[in-house]
Amino acid sequence: MSVAATDPSMDAVPRRSRRGGVLHPVTHTWTGRVGLVIVALMMIVIVLGPVLAPHDPNELAAGLPLAPPGRGFVLGNDNLGRDVWSRFLSGGRMVLLVPLAAVGLATISGGFLGMTCGYIGGALDAVVARVFDILLTLPPLLIALAVIAGFGSSTAVLVLTIALIFAPQIGRVARGTTLAVVSSDYVQAARARGERRVTIVVREIAPNIVAPVVSDLALRVTYGVIFVATLNFLGLGAQPPSPDWGLSIAQNLAYVQVQPYASLAPVVGVAALSVGLNLMADSMVRYVSHDGMKDSML
Amino acid sequence: MSVISPVPTQGPLVAAPTASRGRAARARAVVRQVGLALLTLFLISFIAFVAMNHSPVQIARNVLGRGATPAQLRAYATSHGLDRPVMVQYLSWLGHFVRGDWGATLVNQQVRPLVLPAYVHTGELALITLAWSVLLAIALGVAAARRRGAVDQSLFVGMTVLAALPEFVIGLGLMVTFAVQLRWFPVSSNAVAEGSAGEKLLAFVLPSLTLGLGVVAYVWRITRASMLEALAAPYTRSAILRGLRRRRVIWRHAVRSASVPLVNAIAINIIYLMGGVIVVENVFAFPGLGRLLVQAIAQGDANLALAIIMLLGAVFIVLGLVADVVVTYLDPRLKGGSR
C-alpha cells in the first residue's frame, strides 16, 4: 500500500451511492463546516467587495501616504495614499477566478482523457498513463516560471499554465478510479445483463467516480489559489496598480512597521481563502479515503 | 513514486528471494529511477528553452532595449543565430551547457560564476531544512499516533492550517514576529553570502524555519497515517503480547514498517520543496538560486534563467532520486523483484 498512503483517492474502493454524496462531509464534519463558513465569507468579500468598496482602489493620494486607520479610512492608507480597505475588498478576484478556470480546463482535458483511457484500456491507456507519470515528475513552480518568462504573465497564460500542470494530476486520479470501477462487481453485472456501453458509463461508472474526482478537484483549487497568490507575490502575475492580494503584500512589505494593515489585510485574505478551501477539500478527501469516521471527530 | 509499484506479498517472486536475484532487481529499479530522473531534467530544460526562445524578436529586444528599431532587432537575431529552428538552437545550447559554457547574462556577465555561489547557498538551505523538518515531523507523527486524543487533535488542527498556508504567508508571519518585533534574527538573509560565521547562521534560521514548517505539516500527516496502520497490524500486537518493551515495539517494529510510505511521500514532495525554496528566498532576500531566478525572469534574462532552472531541477531531482533509492532498500517487497 505504499503508493496508496500518499494518494488517498487512488485506493478508494468505489462503492455504490453513500448518503449525501461527496458534499456530505462538508456539512457534517467540523472541518468541513468551518471551511464552508470561511469560504462563504470570503466569497462574499470577493464577489461583493468591489461594489462595496468606499473608494476607488486605485485612487492615488485618497488620503495621506501610510496614514493609520481613521478619518474615513477603516484600515488607513498605503504608501501611495490609496485606501487599504477598498484595495482589500477589490483584490481577491484573481486568486479565486484563475484557479477555478484552470481547474475547469484541466478537468475537461485531463479528467476526460483519464476516464476514457481507464475505460478503454489497452495500448492507448498504457501510453497515456506513462505520459501522465512523466509529466507528474515536473516541478510545477519551475515550469510555470519558465512559461511566464517566455510568454509573459497575462491571465490567459496563467490559466493555461496551471491547467497544464493540473491536467495530468487530475487525469491520473480519474484514470485510477475508473480502472477500479470498471473491474468492480456491479459493472461486471451490468455487462452480464447486456447493458449498452453508454448506459454502463453513464449509470454505473460516472456516479461512482464522482466522489474521488470531486474531492481531488477541491484540493486542486486550493493548490491553485496558493499558486496564483504566490506568483502574484513574486511579481510574476498581476502587475501594478492591480489591488491583487499577493501583489499588495509584496508592495507593502517594506512599510510593515509603519502601516502594518496595508500588508496584513491582504495576508488575511489569502490565508483565509486557502485555509477555508483546504478544510473543505480535506473533509472530502478523508471521507473518500475511508478514514472519515476516525478523524471526523475533530 | 509510481515507478515502484507495490508488489503483492505472496507472489512466486517473493516466495523464494535469492540474494543475487534481489540485488539484480534492486539494481534494475535504481537504473530505472536514474533514467526517469534524467528524462525529467531533459524535459524541464526543453520546455524552459522553447518557452524562452520561441520569439527571436523578444530576445533581441531584451538585449538591445525598447528603443531598438525593427531592423536592428532583425540584425541581432540573425547575427546570434536566433532565426534558426528552435530545435537546432536547443541542441546547440544543450551542447554548450553540458560542456560548462553557460553563456552570458544580458549585461554580459558570465553566468557560471554568478550562479554557482547561489547554488551552494540553496543546496545548504534545502539540506539543512530537510534534515530537521523530517526528523521533527516523524517524532510528532509517532507521538500523535501513540496518544490519540488531545495531543493528536491539537496537532491535527495545527498541521492542517499550516499545510494550507502559502509559504510566503508563513514567512511573513515569522518575519514580522521574530525579525521586526523581537529583532532576534535579521530581516534580510543577505549575510549568508557575505557575513561572519555567526551572522551566516542567524540568517539561515528564518528561511529554513519557513520552508521546514510546510514539510513538517505534510510529512507529519503521512507519518501519523502509516503509524496508525502499523500500530493496528497483527505483528505489532504479537510483539506486545510477546512482552517486548513498548518503546522497542514502536521504534523497531512499527516505525520500520511505516518508513516505506513515508520515504515515498518525502520523495514525491521534494519537488514541492523546490517551489517553497523559490518563494522563501524571495521573502527573506536569501542569496540563492530562487531569488536569482525571479530576478532573471523579471528582466527577461534567458541564459541566466535557463542555467538556474537546470541547476534547481538537478538539485531536487537528485534529492528525490536519493529518496527513491532509499525506498528500494527499505521495502522488503522489492527484494524478490520489481515492476
User: What distance in Å separates residue B151's CA from the closest CA in chain A?
Assistant: 12
Average pLDDT, rounded, for chain B? 82
Specify the range with the lowest mean pLDDT, choosing from A14-28, B23-37, B191-205, B265-279: A14-28
pLDDT score of B294: 92
pLDDT exceeds 60 at position B8: no
Interface test with B, best of A130, A145, A263 (most B CBs within 10 A): A145
Beta bridge pairs of residue A70 = A73
Domain locations along chain B:
17-98, 112-331
Distance from CA of A200 to the nearest CA of B (A): 29
Q: List CB contacts of B145: < 8 A, sequence separation 6 or more.
A: B152, B223, B224, B227, B228, B231
> Do B293 and A143 count as a contact with CB atoms less than 8 A apart?
no
CB within 8 Å: B44 and A270: no
Query: Average of pLDDT values for B326-339?
Result: 62
Predicted local confidence at residue A14, as pLDDT:
47
Look at residue B122 and tell me whether its pLDDT is greater than 70.
Answer: yes
Which of A41-55, B122-136, B317-331 shows the lowest per-residue confidence on average (mean pLDDT)? Answer: B317-331
- Chain A contact for B53, CB < 8 A? yes
State residue B223 phi and psi, 5-degree precision.
Answer: -60, -50
Are residues A275 and B161, on separate chains, in Cβ contact within 8 Å?
yes
What pLDDT sits at residue B334? 58
The whole-number pLDDT of residue A290 equals: 59
Sorting pLDDT into bands at 50, 70 and 90, what band is A294? very low
What distance in Å separates the CA atoms of residue A169 and residue A42, rounded to the nearest whole number? Answer: 27
> What angle (nearest 5°) sits at the alpha carbon of residue B328, between those of residues B19 and B134?
140
Q: Do A274 and B164 touch (CB under 8 A)?
A: yes
Q: Is the Cβ–Cβ distance between B124 and B205 less than 8 Å?
A: no
Q: How confident is the model over B39-88, as pLDDT tens digits?
A: 888 998 999 998 888 877 777 777 787 778 888 888 888 887 777 888 88
Chain B positions touching A1 (Cβ under 8 A) are 6, 229, 261
pLDDT at A44: 93
Chain A nearest-CA distance from B310, in A, is 10
Best residue of A7, A31, A95, A141 to probe chain B, by most B CBs closer than 10 Å: A141
B222-246: pLDDT as tens digits: 888 888 888 878 888 888 888 888 7
Give residue A198's pLDDT band: very low, low, confident or very high (50, 70, 90): confident
**Mean pLDDT across A173-184:** 86
CA A174 to mean position of chain CA atoms: 17
**Mean per-residue pLDDT for A35-52?**
92
Q: Tell me whether residues B156 and A295 touch, CB distance under 8 A.
A: yes
Report for A1-15, B46-60, B197-211, B325-339: range of highest mean pLDDT: B197-211
Whether pLDDT at A74 is above 90 = no
Q: Say whether B49 sits in a helix, a strand or coil.
A: helix
> Hey, are the CB atoms on A291 and B53 less than 8 Å from each other?
no
Which residues of chain A make contact with B164, given a CB cutoff of 8 A? 222, 226, 274-275, 277-279
Measured between beta carbons, the chain A residues lying within 8 angstroms of B6 are 1-4
C-alpha cell at position A60:
492615488
Q: Which CATH superfamily is domain B112-331 in?
A: MetI-like (1.10.3720.10)
CB contact under 8 A, A141 and B278: yes
Q: Which residues in A lie closer than 8 A to residue B260 (C-beta atoms)?
A: 2
Residue type, B255: V
Span A238-247, mean pLDDT?
Answer: 91
Q: What is the mean predicted confidence (pLDDT) over A271-295?
A: 77
pLDDT at A40: 94
Give the pLDDT confidence score for residue A20 in this predicted structure.
58
Residues of B in contact with A92 (CB under 8 A): none
C-alpha B268/C-alpha A2 separation (Å) is: 12
- Please report the pLDDT score of residue B332 as a whole number: 65
- Kindly identify which residue of chain A lies nearest to residue B42, measuring between CA atoms: A138
- pLDDT given for residue B36 in this prediction: 85
Please report, in angstroms and rounded to a whole number, the separation of the first and last CA atoms in chain A.
26
> For residue B335, what are the CA distances in angstroms to A60, B22, B266?
68, 5, 21
Of A23-32, A235-244, A284-293, B240-249, give the lowest mean pLDDT range. A284-293
Q: Which stretch of A257-261, B3-7, B197-201, B328-332 has the lowest confidence by average pLDDT?
A: B3-7
Query: What is the predicted pLDDT for the residue at B84?
Result: 84
CA A220 to chain centre: 4
The reported pLDDT for the residue numbered A41 is: 95
Largest CA distance in chain B: 86
How far apart are alpha carbons A144 and B275 in whole angstroms? 10
Provide the pLDDT confidence category of residue A60 given band limits of 50, 70 and 90.
confident
Quote the pLDDT of residue A16. Answer: 45
Element (H, E) at B219: helix B197-231
| Candidates A136, A228, A234, partner chain B, best to mutate (most B CBs within 10 A) | A234
For residue A121, what is its C-alpha cell?
484500456
In this model, does residue B144 exceed pLDDT 70? yes
Residue contact B169–A141, C-beta within 8 A: no
Predicted pLDDT of residue B245:
83
Question: Which of A75-89, A158-172, A179-193, B63-77 has the lowest average pLDDT?
Answer: B63-77
Residue A295: is its pLDDT beyond 50?
no
Count residue pairs from A and B with Cβ separation < 8 A.
167
- What is the pLDDT, as a whole number, of residue B21? 65
Contact across the interface for A136 and B2, Cβ inside 8 Å: yes
Compute the distance between CA of residue B320 and CA of residue B178 in angstroms, rounded to an integer: 32
Residue B3: pLDDT over 80: no
Q: Which residues of B touch A222 (CB under 8 A)?
A: 164
Q: What is the pLDDT of residues B147-191, one digit of tens each?
A: 777 888 888 888 888 888 889 999 988 988 898 888 899 888 888
Whether residues B176 and A137 touch (CB distance < 8 A) is answered with no
pLDDT in tens, A129-166: 888 888 888 888 888 988 888 888 889 999 999 999 99
User: Which pLDDT does position A19 carry in this prediction?
Assistant: 53
pLDDT at A17 over 60: no
pTM, entire model: 0.83
Interface of B with A in 312-331 (CB under 8 A): 312-313, 316-317, 327, 331
Residue among A3, A134, A137, A169 with most chain B CBs within 10 A, to mutate:
A137
**pLDDT tens-digit readout, A200-215:** 888 888 888 888 888 8
- Residues of chain B positioned with their CB less than 8 A from the CB of A292: none
pLDDT of residue A244: 94
The residues in B 265-294 lying below 8 A from A, measured between CB atoms, are 265, 268, 271-272, 274-275, 278-279, 282, 293-294
Q: What average pLDDT does range A33-57 have in this prediction? A: 91
Report the half-sphere exposure of B237 (CA within 13 A, side-chain side): 5
pLDDT class for B5, splitting at 50, 70, 90? very low
